[in-house]
Structures are given as C-alpha cells and as structure tokens.
Amino acid sequence: MNIAIITGSAGLIGSEAVRFFSKKGFKCVGIDNDMRKTFFGEEASTSWNKKLLIKTVPDYEHQAKDIRDAGKMKRIFNHYGSDIKLVVHTAAQPSHDWAATDPFTDFSINANGTLVMLETTRKYCPNSVFIYTSTNKVYGDAPNSLPFIEQETRWELPSEHPYYSGINETMSIDASTHSLFGSSKTAADILVQEYGRYFGMKTGVFRAGCLTGPYHSGTQSHGFLSYLVECALSNRTYSVFGYRGKQVRDNMHAYDLITMFWHFYQNPKKGAVYNTGGSRHAHCSLKEAVTLCEKILGTKIKTNYFEQNRIGDHMWWISDISKFQSHYPEWKYQYSLEKTILQIADNMKTRKKKLRFSSRNSVQP
C-alpha cells in the first residue's frame, strides 16, 4: 500500500493534493485541525472541504491533529511506517497581518511544525519524498528594489531586464524586510533544504506566488483572487493596500502546482528549490484583476483603497519557473487566469446554493 501524508488537507493545496494522489492510487491520510478558522473566522473555515473530501475521496482518512504535536505525529507515522511514500506539507499560518498579532503561534506552526514533520519523516519513512509548499515571501521585499516603471494599470520591468520573464532562485533572501510570516516560512524553507542536503532525504521546496483555485476559503487577509471573486458575488467591498493598486501578482491554479509535485515525486532531488507560480502565463495587477473579474462575472466590484501597503509586500512578483521546467520538461500548465476565475466562481455559486438549500430544509428543535 502506498500512503501519502498530506498536511493542511482541507485547505486549497492540501485538498487538491488529496484528490490528485488518490486518483494515482495512494491512500491519502490528511492532517488538518481547521486552524484557518482560528486565524480568520468562521467564513474561512475549511470544514466544508473536509466533509467533501470524506464524502467523495475513496479511502480518505482525516486526522484532526495539530502538526506541532510531535507525539501525535509520531503515532500516525509509526502506524504506516515505510508504506508512507510521500509527505506533502502544506499546513501553515499564511497571513502577513495575522503573524504580527501573534508571532509565537505563527512561528510555532510554520517553523516548529515543519521541523516536527521533517524529523518524524526521517525517523519513520526516510525514503519517502517530502514536498514543502514555501512562499516567495522568503525573498522579503527585495523585489521592490527592481527598476519598475509605472504604467496605467501596473508596475512593470523594462523588457530587457534579466528578471522580466520572472524572478528566479538567484535572488538573495538577505538584507530585506520579510514580515514575520516571511521569516517563519524562511526558517521552514531552509530546514527542508537542510534535511535534504545533510540527511540525504528527498526533499523539494516550492516557493509559490499566489496560489488559487475552487477549493480556497479566501479571506481579506489571505487568498486574494478567491476573496475578490467572493466580493464580486456577494456585493462586498474589496480593499486594496498600497502601491496604487498596481502591484503585480502571478496566479497559479492549485491543480497545476500539484502536477508539479507529481513530476517531482517520480524523479525527486535532495534539497531542491523551485520558484513556482503563474509566471507570465497567468499574471495581473490588482487593478487588472478587478477589471477582469468584472468582465468575466458581469458585475461591478466595489473597491476601497488604502495608501499604506502591507509590510514586506511586493510591488511586483512574477515567478521564473524555468529551473523546474528544465528538470521536468514534460510538465505543462492546464489553467489560464480566465479559466481559473470562472471555476472559482462556479464552485462558489454551487456552495452558496447548497448552503441556502440546507438552511431552508433544516429541522429546528
């Protein structure tokens, strides 16, 4: 039996991994205690997605455990032992803003929790492949030093600049403001590399830009594209922080990231690091995202602009994925930005319809 341990299994990336690897013949054991609800409130809870996984994914096993609890992680790993062929670690505290309100919790989840997962993997299934979902925030605000040109709807690099096609892994992570979230994720990022290089484990670090898709419980503090669609469908006001709304983001569908994981699993490296994201294939500024969503969804989105940007936030981020493509040339994108927005909206409408139907037909005591 091939076992895949997937942390953050009810979240955006984790749930996509469960669905994908289950179809590849793995028994998926998900670890997720819905901390997203603690971070961002009831509307960000992933309980709906957990229930959907349990209902629709054959042989899925859900463990509502905390990744920081070494004893509980050891019991799960000890139970399956060498049958564990893959660990996909996506669980995290994901928000700049939230990290600043509780640095100890942020660091304990992102850094200490990752250490628990690595050491437990090393002890019970050292030959498995360990994949870590990192972030472009490990580079801090270093990208903001690039020579951007202000255009009507975005900041942009000169076409002759070496990073025009995207920022690659040669950018330094030093001498920049990371935010506390970026610092805790950087600590975990380096740990995953070190377990690959020092202990010879098959570990891969994927430094992602904006990840998105239909299974995202987006909120104002995290999940920009999903939350933008939510605002459009619910007639809420979408808030933009700094840079005149011209900050550029690449957006990658969760499925495309998981197919990267699949290619890595089949031919793993030790301590590999890859920048990953929508690249020039799927990117936009916040202003452009609002316009695109209005066009696709046929509605006007109310926006509220705040001059102060988030600390450590990027004016411009496009991922250069050429290193990964050189290692795995058969990998290809499946989702455009437009296709992704449509899928998010369709899924959101379906969920809202089911919730209204359930509310109308619930029996009151």
Amino acid 364: pLDDT: 43
Q: What is the three-class DSSP state of 112?
A: helix
Residues 6+ apart with CB under 8 A from 355: none
Is 124 domain-assigned?
A: yes
Q: What's the average model confidence in pLDDT over 70-95?
A: 97
Q: What pLDDT, in 10s, does the model give residues 124-175?
A: 999 999 999 999 999 999 999 999 999 999 999 999 999 999 999 999 999 9
Q: What is the three-class DSSP state of 291?
A: helix
Tell whether the model's pLDDT for residue 363 goes beyond 50. Answer: no
CATH code of 205's domain:
3.40.50.720
Q: What pLDDT, in 10s, does the model give residues 114-133?
A: 999 999 999 999 999 999 99
Q: Report the distance separating Cα 159 and Cα 142, nearest Å.
A: 19
Is 252 domain-assigned?
A: yes
Phi, psi of 51 (to 5 degrees): -60, -40
Per the model's pLDDT, the better-predicted residue between 111 and 312 turns out to be 111
- For 282, the domain range is 3-355
313: enclosing H helix or E strand: none
Q: How many CB atoms lie within 10 A of CB 112?
A: 18
Q: What's the average model confidence in pLDDT over 108-117?
A: 98
Residue ranges of E strands in 64-222? 84-89, 129-135, 149-150, 155-156, 202-208, 210-212
Is 362 domain-assigned?
A: no
- 134 strand-pairing partners: 207
Is 217 domain-assigned?
A: yes
Is 65 domain-assigned?
A: yes
Q: Report the distance separating Cα 219 and Cα 8, nearest Å.
A: 17
Is 320 domain-assigned?
A: yes
Range from 26-35, 110-119, 242-251, 303-312 carrying the lowest mean pLDDT: 303-312
Amino acid 354: pLDDT: 65
Structure-token match 């990998």, residue found: 331
Is 361 domain-assigned?
A: no
| Tally of structural domains, the chain | 1
